[in-house]
Amino acid sequence: MGEREWRGRRGRPGRWVALAMVALLALVFVLAGCAGAAAGAPSPTATDTAPPAGTPAQTATIGPTPIAITDLNAFRAKLASAFQSNAWAHVAPLLSPAFSFQGLDSGGASLVMPDSATDLRNLYTNGGPWTQSAEYEVTIHACYAGNTPTGQQMGFDGGSGNFILVGMARWQGYWVVAWAFQDSLGGGDGCAYG
């Protein structure tokens, strides 16, 4: 390769310097423009993100945050306290997401979700005050408990004469109320065998 060809390929040293200077100036102008815009722009406030007047607010009704209790005896104590508080807000977080309820207003033998929690809430709020039942009332309702062990059942008597048998189960590592059964005749009548 000759000297002349080699110089032609190297190009002019001034050309690279000129391109670098143009790029640097462009960068300076961009940065200066951004800084100027940021300095003159108003700072955002809480009202900047608020919906326009008259826009309905979104409400998320996913359900109460579950109370994670891993010990069965602690859960039984919490359930007894919550049920006897006569405040649905204390009972609702103890229900399983797959909770089922068989009551007079829940379609008889039909255990339908997600209406089960609503049906229990209606009975609970209108049928109180609630107290924990005697253990024999739980025992004589064993036919409604399926394969739920006796230690995972509790009963509650309502001021309206109703009895609710509750079954507990583990869900994602902690205890929840899995199901409930309403006996409108009270806790003393037990299973109807025939």
Mean pLDDT, to the nearest integer, of 17-31? 49
Given a cut of 60, whether residue 58 has pLDDT beyond it is no
Predicted TM-score (pTM) of the model is: 0.63
pLDDT at residue number 132:
96
* pLDDT, position 10: 52
Distance CA 194, CA 176 (A): 33
- The yes-or-no verdict on residue 50 having pLDDT over 60 is no
The secondary structure element, H or E, covering residue 169 is strand 163-171
Which of 35-39, 42-46, 65-69 has the highest mean predicted lDDT (pLDDT)? 65-69
The alpha helices in the chain, defined as continuous H runs, are: 3-10, 13-40, 72-84, 88-91, 115-126, 135-139
**CATH number of the domain located at residue range(s) 72-183 in this protein:** 3.10.450
Q: Is the pLDDT of residue 27 over 50?
A: no
**Cis check: omega of the bond before 42, within 30 degrees of 0:** no
